[in-house]
Amino acid sequence: MPVEMQLARIIISEISDNQVIYLKEVDGERQFPILIGIFEATNIERRVKEDYRPPRPLTHDLVVNVAEALGATVESVVIKDLTDQTYFASLQLRKDGQLIEIDSRPSDAIAVAVTFHPPLPIYVSEQVLHDATAVD
pLDDT, tens digit, for every residue of 47-103? 888 677 788 988 888 999 999 999 999 999 999 999 999 999 999 999 999 999 999
The tally of domains found in the chain comes to 1
Check if the beta carbon of residue 118 is closer than 8 Å to that of residue 69.
no
The CATH number given to whatever domain includes residue 17 is: 3.10.690.10
pLDDT of residue 57: 86
pLDDT tens digits, 110-133: 999 998 888 999 999 999 999 998
pTM over 0.85: yes
What is the band of 135 on the pLDDT scale with cuts at 50, 70, 90? low
**C-alpha distance across the termini of the chain, in Å:** 24
Residue 39: pLDDT above 90?
Answer: no
CA distances in angstroms from 80 to 3, 21, 54, 134, listed in the order given:
11, 17, 30, 16
Burial class (CB in 10 A: 0-12, 13-18, 19+), 46: middle
pLDDT of residue 131: 92
Strand partners, 43: none
Amino acid (1-letter code) at residue 92:
Q
Q: For residues 18-35, give the mean pLDDT.
A: 94
Range of the domain at 124: 3-133
What is the band of 136 on the pLDDT scale with cuts at 50, 70, 90? low
What is the band of 15 on the pLDDT scale with cuts at 50, 70, 90? confident
pLDDT of residue 70: 94
